[in-house]
Amino acid sequence: MNKIVLSILFSLVAIGLKAQPLAQRLDSLLMNDPMMRTSEVGISVFDLTTGESLFQYQDEKLYRPASTEKVVTSVTALATLGTDYTMDTQLKYTGTIENDTLKGSLYLIGGFDPEFMDEDLDSLVDVIAQSGIRYIADTLAADVSMMDSVYWGNGWSWDDVPDSFQPYMSPLMLNRGCVDVTVIPAEKDSLPIIECVPASDYYQVDNDGVSNNPQAGNLRITRNWLHNGNLIHVSGNVSKKTTRTLSIYTSKDFFFHTFINRLKEKGIEVNTTAFADCPENDSLRVVSPLFTLQRPIGEVLTQMMKESDNLCAESMFYHLALHHTQQKRVNDNDGSDAINHFVKESLGLNPEYYNIVDGSGVSLYNYISPRLLLEYLKYAYYHADIFQSFYEALPIAGIDGTLKSRMKKSKAYQNVHAKTGTVTGVSSLAGYAKAPNGHQLAFAIINQNVMKSRQARTFQDKVCDILCTSK
| Ranges 49-53, 225-229, 315-319, 390-394: which has the least confidence | 225-229
Cβ neighbour number for residue 61 with a 10 Å cutoff: 15
Query: Looking at residue 449, what DSSP letter applies?
Result: S
Query: How sure is the predictor about 162, in pLDDT bands with cuts at 50, 70 and 90?
Result: low
- Sign of dihedral through CA atoms 389, 394, 396, 402? positive
**Where does 191-309 have alpha helices with state H?**
251-265, 297-306
Q: What is the pLDDT of residues 411-441, one digit of tens each?
A: 999 999 999 999 989 999 999 999 999 999 9
Residue 383 CA: distances (Å) to CA of 248, 298, 379, 387, 429: 40, 16, 6, 6, 22
Question: How many angstroms separate the CA atoms of 146 and 143, rounded?
Answer: 8
Pair 236, 210: CB distance under 8 Å? yes
- On whether the CB atoms of residues 165 and 230 are closer than 8 A, the answer is no
Report the amino acid identity of residue 441. L
**Distance, CA of 284 to chain centre:** 42
d(CA 456, CA 448): 9
What one-letter code names the amino acid at 319?
H
Is residue 70 pLDDT above 60, yes or no?
yes
Tell which residue, 244, 293, 270, 268, has the closest CA to residue 134. Answer: 268
Residue type, 462: K
Break the chain into its structural domains and give their ranges: 20-83+299-467, 86-149+252-295, 164-247
pLDDT above 50 for 202: yes
pLDDT score recorded for residue 280: 87
Which residues fall within 8 angstroms of residue 160, CB to CB, at 6 or more apart?
A: 166, 362
One of 3.30.450.30, 1.20.140.10, 3.50.80.20, 3.30.70.380 is the CATH number of 86-149+252-295, namely: 3.50.80.20
Q: What is the pTM of this model?
A: 0.91
pLDDT of 161 > 80? The answer is: no
The pLDDT of residue 81 is above 60:
yes
Report how far residue 351's alpha carbon sits from residue 195's, in angstroms, rounded to the nearest whole number.
Answer: 48
Cis omega (within 30 of 0) for bond into 76: no
Q: What is the CA radius of gyration of the chain?
A: 26
**Whether the Cβ atoms of residue 461 and residue 469 lie closer than 8 Å to each other:** no
Distance, CA of 197 to CA of 202 (rounded, Å) = 12
User: Which of 21-35, 119-133, 277-291, 340-354 is predicted with the least confidence, judged by mean pLDDT?
Assistant: 277-291
| pLDDT confidence tier of residue 159, bands split at 50, 70 and 90 | low
Half-sphere exposure for 463 (CA within 13 Å, toward CB)? 33
Query: CATH assignment of 20-83+299-467, given 3.40.640.10, 3.40.50.720, 3.40.710.10, 3.10.20.600?
Result: 3.40.710.10
Give the three-state DSSP class for 304. Answer: helix
Strand partners, 98: 101
SS3 content of the chain, % helix, strand, coil (to 5): 35, 30, 35
